[in-house]
Structure 1
Amino acid sequence: MAIIVKRLMIIGIFLAIYVFLSLWIGLKIWQYIGRFVPYLNHKLYWIIYLLISQSFLLGKLLTGHLPVQLSRSLILMGSYWLAIMSILVLVLLFTDISNAIFSNFNIFQNSLLSSPLSIGIFISFTTLLLFCYGWWNAQNVKLSEYDLKIDKKAGHLKNITAIAVSDLHLGSIVNKNRLEKLAAIVKETNPDIIFFVGDIVDEDPEPFIEQNMKQVFMELKPPLGMYAVPGNHEYIGKKWNEIFDNLHLAGITVLRDEEVLVDNSFYVIGRDDYYMEHFYRQKRKSLGEITHNSKEKSPMILLDHQPVALNEAAENGIDLQLSGHTHHGQFFPNNLITKKIFECDWGYLQKNNLQVIVSCGFGTWGPPIRIGSNSEVLKINIAFQ
């Protein structure tokens, strides 16, 4: 019951903030832009604005009650609005602060630059410029390379090259074309093993199935296999079994609180998502329960979607933990928030004998826009003792 109340409180706070910002932005757009548009009266403006600004919530809430294409179109439109909204919050705050400073010091007063229309043009141009940059930045994938050493013997293996990808969010927005771009990057690196660190499919498996995305995964044939763990988005849509079945058909081993000994050389341990308890009141196993049969002298690589249990990993002899989830905020200044929430929200961290790498993620949640973060694929060169 406490978990449900906590979730409802979080949702309520989020909705209150979202509605407040939507109304504030709506008033500002009318003040600086809307009232100068020919034939657009106040009532028509608010009808159009509210439809656009609430389309994401409408699409999500009415999924299953509307025709599929209509709900997807609403979600797509709403996703782009979320990006524009994030940009507008910053641009409008900058505009209001600048206006206050200029007014206080009597700068640009009674000039063309201080007119609402001029300010509206500035807001429109700046928002469009940042939106285009964010879209371009999200499409350009960065290959982040790490050279690591694990001081344990791994059978006959002296070193391996691993590719790790988190937060693909495959669906209607991050589609098969984007997945094929990822596959091309992976093939160029010729990895020994591939890890998918959660949020592979974005809630609804239908676009994954319709676009036959599994075929792209099947073309990747690393000699030591492909392994994945669930993220929170596999569970949100309540179709996780269908998602996991399709990943299995694509040749990916999904690890849910279990471990596997790879090539009789090293262990790959996969944890179920941390939010399992929040969504379904079902706790995931402790790391000690999962690894109690492991040979301590063998290297242990942990896949855990959210970087939230680093102390537990360090205490249980994990050598390398790979995580994602944070997107490094995806939009500035969200990265300042994720940095406060997580001990490591992006990049590399050494914690005693534990090495941690947290990825920005390949895909995006909501709009395919990134400002202040990159879309990335991890290439990890691991040398064993």
Structure 2
Amino acid sequence: MKNRMISIIFGFLLLYVAITLYIGWNGRVFWNTVFGPSTGWAFTTVWALLAYGYLAAMLLRRILPYPVYSAVKLIGTYGLGICMYALLSLPIADVAVALLRWSGMETSAAVSIVGWIVVLLIALVLAIGSRNAWSPVVRRYDIRIDKEAGPRKELRIAVASDLHLGTTIGKPHLARLVERVQALQPDLVLLPGDVLDDSIEPFVRERMGEVLGRLSAPLGVYASLGNHEYIGGHIDEYVERMKAIGIRVLLDEVVLVEDSFYVAGRKDAAVARVDKSGRLSVAELLKGTDPVVPVVLLDHQPRDFGTAAAAGADLMLSGHTHRGQLMPGHLITRRMFELDWGYLRKEAMHVIVSSGFGFWGPPIRIGSRSEVLDIRVTFGREG
């Protein structure tokens, strides 16, 4: 199993290097045509930083000074986005250059015209994608749970998944989250996983807890774990730091809120990588709950809806997919998950999957938006 994983990683790296060399070759030809071959070293330097900055930062994280690590990683994340859209556009551009040359146009003119078009298109993608990433929207869902919740007839829940707090997403974007959530005046705030991007170090070093701790609601603020908390490790420290700012992280736990409804939080499926005991099944998690009391389930990865519905969950909240984040990534997530974004009714259970408040890698979203969910729940049978 270990050898297979090493082979997969090695194969992926070889493919990535091949892709970056292809893009770099095209870029160098365009650069030399426009600016002259004597300055080609400048392009090579910049492209190497863009193409390999993220990998270099992650591999050298322990030895690089924190400001250098953060800067190189940020540059590299933009490079990942540029790589993706350059790869999609360059084969078409190469064909266009060949056709223009065939029609009689000089090679330098063809390369220059097509190259500038590609550069402008990628710049436009970066501009639109940055807006979509840094300007979150609020999406509202109105649902009815056919159970009584004690004296409570309605519940307003603010949900934000996939914050990915780290070297790219810090206090400014986190402040936007607090502003959007508090403006909703929710009864309850839920964070279904991937609050951290990977390492807990930026969260601690940048004192992000001071901002995240401003989230408040009369019925509390609860979170569950995502796969990125396990990637970064330090789960115990993370849970304690969240507790210190008034946010309870549910580790295969169920809480009865106001004697009206349950909030259940599952460990993420990624726990199996670090703990052979894994996590509880939904049935085991909800075993001691009263079946007539509504259950809100936090499960980071949107899987096994039927199992959760059969176990008695009434509302399942997930994230993880980012709705592909970078189009056409949504075509992949749509095939991978029964629901990769939005709303689904699974038997008696409501499922809502968020595209996330933050993002992974490049601070770019194409075909998706950063979002906060405003969920209005009505309890009891209609009529």
TM-score norm. by structure 2 comes to: 0.93
Partner of 1:226: 221
Partner of 2:351: 356
Report SS of the residue matched to 2:269: coil
CA spacing shift, 1:269–1:252, aligned 2, 3 Å: same
In structure 2, stretches of 5+ residues that fail to align are none
Rounded Cα–Cα distance in structure 2 between residues aligned with 1:175 and 1:159:
34
Cα deviation code 1:250-282 (max 9, x no counterpart): 111100111111111111110101111135544
Partner of 1:68: 66
Cα deviation code 1:64-105 (max 9, x no counterpart): 1222222222111101111111221222133235456x469x
Partner of 1:241: 236
Which amino acid counterpart does residue 305 of structure 1 have in structure 2? Answer: H
Contact 2:297 2:313 in 1 (8 A): yes
Report SS of the residue matched to 2:290: coil
Give the Å deviation of 1:354: 1.5
Report SS of the residue matched to 1:33: helix
Give the Å deviation of 1:187: 1.1
Give the Å deviation of 1:232: 0.8
Partner of 1:314: 309
Contact 2:136 2:371 in 1 (8 A): yes
Which amino acid counterpart does residue 318 of structure 1 have in structure 2? Answer: A
CA spacing shift, 1:82–1:40, aligned 2, 3 Å: farther
Partner of 1:262: 257
CA spacing shift, 1:183–1:34, aligned 2, 3 Å: farther
Which amino acid counterpart does residue 183 of structure 2 have in structure 1? Answer: E
The reply on whether 1:211 has 2:188 as its aligned counterpart is no
Of 73, 77, 80 in structure 2, the residue corresponding to residue 79 of structure 1 is: 77
Single out whichever of 281-290 and 149-158 deviates more from structure 2. Answer: 281-290
CA spacing shift, 1:243–1:33, aligned 2, 3 Å: same
Give the Å deviation of 1:11: 2.6
CA spacing shift, 1:6–1:240, aligned 2, 3 Å: farther
Partner of 1:22: 20
Which amino acid counterpart does residue 66 of structure 1 have in structure 2? Answer: L
The reply on whether 1:190 has 2:185 as its aligned counterpart is yes
Of 51, 56, 59 in structure 1, the residue corresponding to residue 54 of structure 2 is: 56
Contact 1:194 1:227 in 2 (8 A): yes
Cα deviation code 1:42-79 (max 9, x no counterpart): 56644543233111101001111222222222111101
Which amino acid counterpart does residue 124 of structure 1 have in structure 2? Answer: V
Give the Å deviation of 1:156: 1.4
Give the Å deviation of 1:33: 2.7
Contact 1:159 1:383 in 2 (8 A): yes
Which runs of structure 2 are paired with 1:1-385 in the superposition (5 Å)? 2=1, 4-5=2-3, 7-38=5-36, 40=38, 45-99=43-97, 102=99, 109-110=104-105, 115-385=110-380
Which amino acid counterpart does residue 8 of structure 1 have in structure 2? Answer: I
Which amino acid counterpart does residue 15 of structure 2 have in structure 1? Answer: I
Single out whichever of 318-327 and 114-123 deviates more from structure 2. Answer: 114-123
Give the Å deviation of 1:313: 0.6
Contact 1:87 1:131 in 2 (8 A): no
In structure 1, stretches of 5+ residues that fail to align are none
Which amino acid counterpart does residue 176 of structure 1 have in structure 2? Answer: K
Contact 1:217 1:251 in 2 (8 A): no
Which amino acid counterpart does residue 61 of structure 1 have in structure 2? Answer: L
Which amino acid counterpart does residue 308 of structure 1 have in structure 2? Answer: R
Which amino acid counterpart does residue 91 of structure 1 have in structure 2? Answer: S
Contact 1:32 1:119 in 2 (8 A): no
Single out whichever of 18-27 and 261-270 deviates more from structure 2. Answer: 18-27
Contact 2:96 2:114 in 1 (8 A): no
